Amino acid sequence: GSELKPSASGICTALLVLLHRNAAAASGDGGGGLRLNFYSESCPRAEQIVKEQVRRLYEEHGNTAVSWLRALFHDCTVKSCDASLLLETDAATGLVSEQASPRSFGMRNFKYVGAIKSALERECPGTVSCADLLALAARDGAAMLGGPSPIPMRTGRRDATASQYGEVERYVPNHNDTVSAVLSRFAAMGLGAEAVVALLGAHSVGRVHCSNLVARLYPAVDGGFEPAYGAYLRGRCPTADAREDTRDVAYARNDRATPMVLDNMYHKNLLKGRGLLLVDQRLASDPRTAPFVKKMAADNGYFGETFAAALVRMSENGPLTGGQGEVRKDCRFVNAK
């Protein structure tokens, strides 16, 4: 319902302050070369096309909207928001895709990136980067899920010509990391504890595979779980000695109340001992993050504004701009020389 959407004016104000702050860094390499409406002359309908495609895909396969948020997180966390995540393994060149990393387990819907890119290529061949496509799709996906909107997102990113497969495990947090580990990884992107608690609120949508949960359920249920919730999860997830493939297919929804709404239900659940992943539940008790969990649980508008600002900040992590990288014609492959 409408109460889930924080006021648009509040979000815009918070973001304009953030963009203003970032503008100072824009002359260096902070958000260098990125600007609002980057394609206003080269491809005026670029952002509209992405939005139309994200909406169409959402209407056909609702979970795509969640996938765009996760894809942007995985792409940006590993060194740069440069669409290196989208490159597919290529035996001929020896390139190994970041999607092959264990940290990318459960990511899906990459095939639909091609549908968005094809629509952009039809309108403006070789103009809109895959890195900008990911950033815009995540923004529009958040809006489709009832999250903050509109989010002013700067564009002008260029695409990587290499995979960072070897770096993924070092950069992408694990589901059972300590709060300190997670905070230090986000700090490298200029994101503090408040932003981390907001961004992990994306776990308000989507699901978690049982392979990431069984250690908290067997042989005994983790004492951090609300007992009834632990019993429910044991019903969802087969035992730890079940065949690996069953655990990889079985899953539990992150949030049973509003499973497809990007809202503060995640933070409310943490306060009740219903954080699915260990790292989620730890946010509620760590003194550096707990105050933000409580504040977001109490105020969905505040969560929305903080999430929007953090999403923009994350999307501007070390972008390739100007003459760096390239604009890939097909997001899966480096352009032929």
Q: Which residues are annotated as a binding site for substrate?
A: 173
Tokens describing residue 107: 């990511």
Considering the candidates 20, 74, 175, 209, report the single residue annotated as catalytic: 74
CB 216 within 8 A of CB 222: yes
Residues flagged as binding site: 75, 78, 82, 84, 173, 203, 255, 258, 263
Kind and range of the H or E element at 216?
helix 214-217
| Cβ contacts of 323 within 8 Å, gap of 6 or more | none
CB atoms closer than 10 angstroms to residue 97: 19
CB atoms closer than 10 angstroms to residue 227: 10
Tokens describing residue 142: 């958040």
| Cβ contacts of 260 within 8 Å, gap of 6 or more | 62, 66, 145, 205
CB 319 within 8 A of CB 32: yes
- In the block, residue with structure tokens 């932003």: 195
Question: What is the CA angle 158-162-167, rounded to 5?
Answer: 110
- The identity of residue 213, as a single letter, is L
Residues flagged as binding site for Ca(2+): 75, 78, 82, 84, 255, 258, 263
User: For residue 218, with 0-12 CB atoms within 10 Å meaning exposed, 13-18 middle and 19 or more buried, which class applies?
Assistant: middle
| Annotation says 61 is catalytic | no
- The identity of residue 75, as a single letter, is D
Please give the positions annotated as active site: 74
